[in-house]
Amino acid sequence: MSNVKKMPLIMAMILVMSVFVSAPFIAMAENNKNVKTYVISEQVTFDYDVTITGVYDKVNGSVIKEYKAEVAAGEEWDTSNLKSGYYHVVEKVGFIDRLLGRYDDFWVQLKEVKEVVPVYGDEPAVYGAREGAPVSTAANVRVESVSNAIEGMDEYALGDTIIVKGTVEGISDGTPIRFLLKGTYLSEISDVQLGVAPSRVTGGQFEFTIDTSKRVDFLRSNLYPDVYTMIVYADQGLPGYQKSDSSDIVTINLKMPTVTFELENNTVTTIGDIRIKGETTGNPDSVMVWLVNESAKTAAVVKVPVENNTFEAELSANDFSPWFSDRGLIDPKDKFTPATDYVILVVHPGVDGYAYPSSAATPEYVGGSLIINGRLIANDYTKFVSSVKGDDIVATQPLNIELPYMELDVPNVIAGEDIAVNGTTNLANETVVLVEIPAMGLIKNTKVENGQFKVVFPDANIPAPIKERGLAGTYSVTARDIDNISYAQADFEILLEEPVAPPELVAPPELVAPPEPVAEEETPGFGIFVAIAGLFAVAYLVVRKR
C-alpha cells in the first residue's frame, strides 16, 4: 500500500527530470550554427555513437519526411537513398551527461548531384536556348561566399547590404540566378518580393546583393531579425523555384542593429566640446545624440552622420538644437550649464527609421512627434528608452559638466636658468593656452594634453635691457585660453645665487647631574651619649665658679 501512495510522487519526479533532460537538448539545437554538408551517397562516419533524425527543410525547421537512424562510432552512415535536406545528429550519451548538456549536437545537410537527362533529342541542350532545356548531365550551383558590403563586418544586421557570390558548373552564361528566403516568421519570400533583380551567370560565376533595409511590400514592413535559410538556384525551365532546379543552400543570421559609443572624457567644461565616437551595425545614415540634464529636466538633440557603421563628432552647445524642457521647447543655449547628472543618449534609427522627423529645415521637425519625445526625454529619459523598445536602439553614457579652471606652478630659478611653467586644467585636449611673463615681454602658446600643459622660456630669450637692469626679483606669470574664459596667475623669484641654507643647529650635550651623596648610617644610641657628656661638662663649670 505504501508503494502505491508513492507512485504520484515518483511520476512527478520523472516529469521534472524529463524537463531538465530535454531542456539542454532544445537549447543546443536552437543555438547550434554548425552545419556540415555532404553529397548524397558520400561516405559519412562519426567518432561516437549518434542518433540521426530528419528530414528538415532547414536548421530547426519543419519535418518534410520522417527519418531516424542509429549509427555506431566508426560505422558508415548510408546516405545513398536519402532525401536532400537537413538532418539532426545528436551524440548518444548517458543520463547524467545528457542532463548536464555534455554531448555533441549538430546538423548535416545532404545535397544531391543531379543527373539531368536531355529532353530535346539525343544531344544535350543548353540552358537558356529553349524554355526548360537542361544544360548537361551534371548541373551544379555553389555559393562560394556570403559577406557584408562593409569591409571588416563579419555579421549581418537589418539594414546591411549582403553580397552573395558563387560559381556554376554545366550551366550556360545568361542563366538567371535567383533566391528564396525562409525563416521562422516567413514561410517563403522571393528575390522579386525583396526588390532584387535576378543575377545572371557570367563566365561560370554569379553575384547579387540583398539590401535588408528596404521595406517589403509583401510584409508591409521590413524584414525581421531571424536565422534565414536561403536557397540560391538557377532559374531553369518554368519561372520560379522548382525542386528540379540546380541549387545551393546557405544560412544567414540577420540580427537587430546595434549602437555603441564612448566619450573621450566623461567630464567636460561649460565652454568645451563633447567628443563622441561610436560604431553601429545595420549601416544607418545617421544617429541622433541627445543631451539630457536630469536635475534641470532639459534635453537637446543633434543628428550625427554615420559612414560605414562608424561616427565621430565634437559637439558644442551651439550644435544642439532644438532644446526642450519637460513642458516643451525652450530657448537654445550658447553654453552648457554645470551639473553632474547629465546623460548622453545615442539613438539608432533601427529598421523603420526614427520615430520623429529629423530635418530641422521643416516645420514638422518641431511640430510632430519630435517635440513629444523631447518633452518625454527631458522629463524622464528612462521612459523614452523603455518606449522605443526594439524600434530604435539606444545607448547611454553619464556626463559631468563643470566650470573651467586653470592652475599654475612656477618654481624659483637662479639667474641664467630657463623658466619652466607647469599648468593643470579641466579644459579639453588640444585647447590652446597662452602663457605670458608681462614684465619680460615674453609670451608662448601651448596645448592642453590630458589635463596638463607646459611652457619653457629659455634664459636666452630674456631681453638684454632687462638683464642689464638686474634680474633679481619677483615676477608674475599668467595663463589663459584663447577665448579668455579661463585664467590663472602665479609668482616666482629669480635669485642671483643659490641661497645658502643656514647651518644646522647642533644640540649641546646633555649635562650629567652629579650623583647624590650617600648619607652615612649612624650608630643607634650614639647621640644620647654625646648629650649626657655635654650636661656633665656644663655642671662642672658651674660648680667650679662657685
Tens of pLDDT, residues 152-205: 777 898 888 999 999 999 999 999 999 998 888 776 888 888 888 888 999 999
Quote the pTM value.
0.57
Count of CB atoms situated within 10 Å of the CB of 429 = 14
* Element at 432 (helix H, strand E): strand 432-437
Closest CA to 145 of 198, 59, 207: 207
Query: Quick one: fold of 259-402?
Result: Immunoglobulin-like (2.60.40)
Coil, helix or strand at residue 178: strand
Calculate mean pLDDT across residues 136-147: 80
Q: Quote the CA–CA distance of 47 and 45 in Å, as a whole number.
A: 7
Q: Quote the CA–CA distance of 235 and 136 in Å, as a whole number.
A: 15
Cβ neighbours for 520, distance < 8 A, ≥ 6 positions apart: none
Q: Quote the CA–CA distance of 264 and 268 in Å, as a whole number.
A: 10
Q: Confidence class of residue 500 from pLDDT cuts 50, 70 and 90?
A: low
pLDDT tens, residue by residue, 53-77: 988 888 888 888 889 999 998 888 8
Inform me whether the pLDDT recorded for 405 exceeds 70.
yes
- Structurally, at CATH architecture level, domain 19-111 sits in Sandwich (2.60)
CATH topology match: 140-255 vs 406-495 = yes
Inform me whether the pLDDT recorded for 237 exceeds 80.
no
The predicted pLDDT at position 304 comes to 94
Inform me whether the pLDDT recorded for 359 exceeds 70.
no
Q: Quote the CA–CA distance of 330 and 333 in Å, as a whole number.
A: 9
Q: Confidence class of residue 33 from pLDDT cuts 50, 70 and 90?
A: very low
Cell of 171: 550551366
Burial class (CB in 10 A: 0-12, 13-18, 19+), 4: exposed
Inform me whether the pLDDT recorded for 132 exceeds 60.
no
Cα dihedral 128→133→136→140 (10° resolution): 70
Q: Looking at 24-28, 178-182, 413-417, 436-440, which range is the least confident one?
A: 24-28
Integer CA distances (angstroms), 433 to 386, 446, 520, in order: 44, 5, 88
Q: Which CATH number fits domain 140-255: 1.10.3720.10, 2.60.40.10, 3.30.300.30, 3.20.20.210?
A: 2.60.40.10
Q: Which residues pair with 408 in a beta bridge?
A: 423
Q: Quote the CA–CA distance of 114 and 81 in Å, as a whole number.
A: 14
Q: Quote the CA–CA distance of 409 and 407 in Å, as a whole number.
A: 7
Q: Quote the CA–CA distance of 105 and 245 in Å, as a whole number.
A: 31
Q: Confidence class of residue 32 from pLDDT cuts 50, 70 and 90?
A: very low
Query: Quick one: fold of 406-495?
Result: Immunoglobulin-like (2.60.40)
The predicted pLDDT at position 484 comes to 79
Which strand ranges, in their side-by-side order, compose the sheet holding 286-293?
A: 267-269, 393-402, 339-348, 286-293, 298-305, 323-325, 328-330
Inform me whether the pLDDT recorded for 442 exceeds 90.
yes
Tell me, what amino acid is at 202?
T
Q: Quote the CA–CA distance of 127 and 248 in Å, as a whole number.
A: 18
Q: Where are the domains of the chain?
A: 19-111, 140-255, 259-402, 406-495
Higher pLDDT, 365 or 191: 191
Calculate mean pLDDT across residues 293-322: 92
Q: Quote the CA–CA distance of 31 and 509 in Å, as a whole number.
A: 87
Coil, helix or strand at residue 142: strand
The predicted pLDDT at position 352 comes to 62
